[in-house]
């Protein structure tokens, strides 16, 4: 309570009050058509990266990049939500507001850790040195804020007030973790057009020692690696990051920016050596992923379910941005396997009736499965499927104008997510290669009002994309063309709200 009363005299408290008033005003103007029912999204205004995901006093806390005054990216605050079960969420007051000398123009992305009885936020303080938006002249430092109640935070200023080299201006997105008796911090940096990942060590979160660059990019690796995360799974080290500036290659890296990983080893000299960069998700919208080591030892990951310079129709509805469902990561060989968090089954309502499969040419409506918040288990039997398409159509309108397609293309040997007719503004395909010897695909599909997330039952891939159909586009169809194969919906559930 003393910390809270003292903070009332802090300029940040005034800024937070103004932001909360703006958020309350924005709520009166929000249009609900695309609002997710069980994904994390801001009450109003703008959301991008998950900033800090942390387990504190028996609850999961997720912070996020937030502009409460408008549905456009702007002067960034930290939004805040919590959950006791990873499923049902509650919005909390905005956690951080910009305004101090070191974060005058934004509290950019970072992470959260628990230190004793204290919740600590480590974030990037951003300042424009020239015109707003001119990234040639910026200052970025790493800052600390702490809380004893998990809601009200006190800033401690910059704890790393300069990059390892004076010529580095882009220096952001600190991810902190504890190992033995020390804290470690990895951040993204840019020297010219070369990405670097500096590593620091501390005993108290206040004073940091630069160790070395964990990794650095070469030609073709992009110019900036945002939101780095370094963690261990099954005795291997995994380097997760979001590169900017990598070029598309065939079906790979088709988004403006990507999120992916390399599996390898961090040696005693603090250098990471690993395999090739692999995209973590192959959909249209997935960026700035950050992980959490849960209390039970699972490695969980969240990401922003949007992409820079993509269509965002909800901005006209006075809100923008959402996070994907929490996912579990496992390491199998040199690949990460990704699964929807097991807790999500708590969203299921009464199961929908069984439906017959489809193997004839053409399409068939599935009247038993209909809605905008669904979990659908799809089985594609690929034996003898040598040509044509086999799959399902989601969020179909009765007039045939809208549908989101998910199908196996036998000629390409790829599973395709096609949103050419998925509603307002969006278009394009994303896909993953399917081993031609595979005889069956089992998929878990999560639909929310403006998103679709597809998971391979065995964790080999996921496809996550935003869609913006009309509210009455609720139908599901089974699709087949060519010869061979069969598609069926094994199980399906309507899903309940994820908000308390």
Is there a contact between 115 and 104 (Cβ–Cβ < 8 Å)? no
Look up the CATH number of domain 348-494: 2.60.120.560
pLDDT for res 5: 45
Interatomic CA distance for residues 414 and 432, integer angstroms? 5
Q: At 274, is the pLDDT very low, low, confident or very high (cuts 50, 70, 90)?
A: very high
- In percent, the amount of the chain with pLDDT more than 70 equals 98
Place of tokens 């703006």: 22
Q: Dig out the tokens for 248 from the structure.
A: 């598309």
Q: Are strands 89-91 and 77-83 parallel, antiparallel or unpaired?
A: antiparallel
Q: Higher model confidence: residue 243 or residue 1?
A: 243
* 28-31 LR contacts (CB < 8 Å, sep 24+): 29/318, 30/317, 30/318, 30/319, 31/316, 31/317, 31/318
The DSSP bridge partners found for residue 249 are: 252
Q: Dig out the tokens for 117 from the structure.
A: 């009885």
pLDDT for res 484: 87
Is there a contact between 365 and 475 (Cβ–Cβ < 8 Å)? yes
* 452-484 pLDDT, tens digit each: 999 999 999 999 999 999 999 999 999 999 888
Residue 436's Cβ-count burial label (10 Å; 0-12, 13-18, 19+) is: exposed
* 387-400 pLDDT, tens digit each: 999 999 999 999 99
Q: Are strands 440-448 and 451-456 parallel, antiparallel or unpaired?
A: antiparallel
* 59-112 pLDDT, tens digit each: 999 999 999 999 999 999 999 999 999 999 999 999 999 999 999 999 999 999
pLDDT higher than threshold 50 for residue 1: no
Q: Dig out the tokens for 200 from the structure.
A: 């620091």
Is there a contact between 402 and 421 (Cβ–Cβ < 8 Å)? yes
pLDDT higher than threshold 50 for residue 7: no
The superfamily in CATH containing domain 2-344 is: Glycosyl hydrolase domain; family 43 (2.115.10.20)
**Torsion angles phi and psi, residue 123, rounded to 5:** -140, 170
Q: Give domain limits for the chain.
A: 2-344, 348-494
pLDDT higher than threshold 70 for residue 2: no
Residues belonging to the active site: 49
The DSSP bridge partners found for residue 189 are: 171, 196
Burial string for 198-216 (b: 16+ CB within 10 Å, else e) reads bbbebeebeebeebebbbb
34 Cβ neighbours under 8 A, 6+ residues apart: 313, 314, 317, 449, 450, 468
* 171-205 pLDDT, tens digit each: 999 999 999 999 999 999 999 999 999 999 999 99
Q: At 6, is the pLDDT very low, low, confident or very high (cuts 50, 70, 90)?
A: very low
17 Cβ neighbours under 8 A, 6+ residues apart: none
The sheet carrying 414-421 orders its strands as 362-365, 475-480, 389-396, 403-409, 414-421, 429-433
Region 216-239: what's the mean pLDDT? 97
Q: Dig out the tokens for 80 from the structure.
A: 């805040």
pLDDT higher than threshold 90 for residue 422: yes
């Amino acid at each position: 309570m003393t910390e809270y009363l003292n903070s009332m005299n802090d300029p940040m408290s005034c800024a937070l009050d103004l932001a909360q008033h703006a958020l309350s005003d924005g709520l009166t103007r929000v249009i609900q058509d695309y609002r997710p029912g069980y994904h994390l999204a801001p009450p109003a205004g703008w959301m991008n990266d998950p900033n800090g995901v942390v387990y504190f006093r028996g609850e999961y806390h997720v912070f996020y990049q937030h502009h409460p005054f408008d549905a456009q990216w702007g002067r960034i605050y930290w939004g805040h939500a919590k959950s006791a079960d990873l499923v049902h969420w509650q919005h909390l007051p905005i956690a951080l507001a910009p305004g101090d000398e070191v974060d005058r123009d934004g509290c950019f992305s970072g992470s959260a850790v628990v230190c004793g009885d204290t919740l600590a936020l480590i974030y990037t303080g951003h300042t424009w040195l020239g015109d707003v938006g001119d990234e040639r002249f910026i200052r970025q430092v790493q800052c600390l804020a702490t809380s004893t109640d998990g809601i009200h935070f006190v800033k401690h200023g910059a704890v790393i007030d300069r990059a390892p080299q004076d010529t580095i201006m882009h220096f952001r997105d600190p991810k902190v973790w504890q190992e033995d008796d020390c804290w470690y911090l990895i951040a993204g940096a840019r020297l010219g057009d070369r990405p670097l990942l500096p590593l620091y060590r501390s005993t108290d979160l206040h004073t940091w020692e630069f160790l070395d660059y964990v990794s650095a990019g070469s030609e073709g690796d992009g110019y900036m690696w945002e939101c780095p995360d370094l963690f261990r799974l099954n005795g291997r080290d995994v380097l997760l990051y979001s590169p900017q500036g990598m070029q598309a290659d065939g079906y790979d890296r088709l988004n403006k920016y990507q999120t992916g990983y390399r599996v390898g080893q961090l040696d005693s000299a603090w250098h990471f050596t690993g395999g090739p960069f692999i995209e973590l998700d192959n959909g249209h919208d997935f960026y700035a992923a950050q992980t959490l080591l849960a209390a039970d030892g699972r490695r969980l990951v969240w990401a922003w379910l949007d992409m820079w310079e993509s269509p965002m129709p909800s901005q006209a509805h006075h809100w923008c941005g959402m996070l994907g469902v929490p996912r579990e990561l496992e390491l199998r060989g040199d690949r990460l396997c990704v699964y929807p968090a097991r807790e999500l089954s708590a969203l299921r309502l009464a199961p929908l009736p069984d439906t017959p499969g489809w193997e004839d040419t053409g399409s068939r409506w599935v009247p038993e499965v209909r809605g905008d918040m669904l979990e659908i288990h799809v089985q594609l039997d690929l034996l003898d499927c040598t040509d044509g398409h086999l799959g399902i159509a989601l969020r179909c309108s009765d007039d045939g104008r809208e549908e989101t397609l998910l199908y196996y293309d036998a000629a390409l040997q790829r599973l395709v997510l096609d949103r050419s007719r998925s509603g307002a503004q969006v278009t394009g395909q994303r896909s993953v290669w399917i081993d031609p010897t595979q005889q069956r695909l089992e998929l878990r599909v999560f639909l929310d009002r403006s998103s679709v997330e597809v998971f391979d039952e065995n964790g080999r891939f996921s496809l996550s994309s935003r869609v913006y159909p009309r509210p009455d586009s609720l139908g599901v169809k089974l699709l087949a063309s060519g010869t061979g194969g069969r598609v069926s919906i094994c199980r399906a559930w309507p899903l309940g709200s994820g908000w308390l």
